[in-house]
Amino acid sequence: VTEPGCPRVGDAGSYLLGALSPADRASYAEHLDGCDECLHEVGRLAGLPGLLAHAPSDEPEPDPPPDLVPGAAAAIRRYRARRRLVGAASVVVLAGIVLGGGVLFGRIAGAPGPQPVALPVQMQQVSAEPVNAQVGFARKDWGTAINLRCRLDRGSAAAPEVYVLVAVAGDGSVQELARWQARPGEDANISTATDLLPDQLRALEIKADPSGSTVLRTEEV
Amino acid sequence: VIVECFYRGHTVAEAADRLGVPPGTVKSRTYYALRALRDTLQTMGVTP
């Protein structure tokens, strides 16, 4: 091993690891054109980063992002919710077959026991906001169980606002059922309920707060 | 320095800050670490 004579040969390691600043990197690359010693040294060490990348080191992982665990938990929740939905949907399909058809899927979605209801109803867009929602209802002895999935498009430039789910009763009175922050690109999965029975419900609306404007609406209850 | 500069993807300046040594020290230690690794591999009969 020859002792380094060029004062910049020490940059060879950082250069190969990609750790030099862009300015240093460009400067050293230029230097390599005219310095045989550095070029030789870079050539001799060039295979090592590839080996390092395969090393089962104690420290190979970058620091995990701070939202890793909550993000993974949310992903698992979404996955489980989807599986439950698929499960509920297949129960509905089976029930439809057993009953010989003639019954709309959505109408009996809540019938088989405690599973979450399916979301057969697409709410109608009322505003220009790029938001969509699917909703499902289940008639209960005590009222109506409501499941809702609401999604604001990722690219939405809408100011941060709160969405409010309201039920409009047959007599025109309004009940607030849920409220949440509208976040672009994220599903809001909401389970709620009202004491009104399905035939007492005239409409379901999602309103923006504080503007009060209606964003989505459905009368298919 | 290898962990900071390679596995954690920091620049020399960032690694120097995190390790509390001058940037020149990060560079030279990186160089000598790679050389030592290469020499060790060579004595083991591996030619990277």
Closest CA in chain B for residue A41: B35
pLDDT per residue as tens digits for the range A74-126: 777 777 776 666 666 666 655 555 555 444 444 444 444 444 457 788 899 88
% of chain A with per-residue pLDDT over 90:
23
Q: What is the pTM of this model?
A: 0.40
Q: Residue A114: what pLDDT?
A: 45
Structure tokens at A35: 């310095």
Q: With beta carbons less than 8 A apart as the criterion, state whether A207 and A214 touch.
A: yes
Q: Residue A154: what pLDDT?
A: 79
Asked if residue B13 has pLDDT above 80, the reply is: yes
Task: Please name the helix (run of DSSP H) or strand (run of DSSP E) that holds residue A196, with its range, or none.
Answer: none
Mean pLDDT of A160-165: 86
Structure tokens at A36: 């045989």
Smallest Cα distance from A22 to chain B, Å: 10
Mean pLDDT of A184-194: 89
CB contact under 8 A, A48 and B48: yes
pLDDT per residue as tens digits for the range A65-75: 566 666 667 77
Work out the number of other CB atoms within 10 angstroms of the CB of residue B6.
27
Of B10, B27, B34, which has the smallest distance from its Cβ to A48's Cβ?
Answer: B34
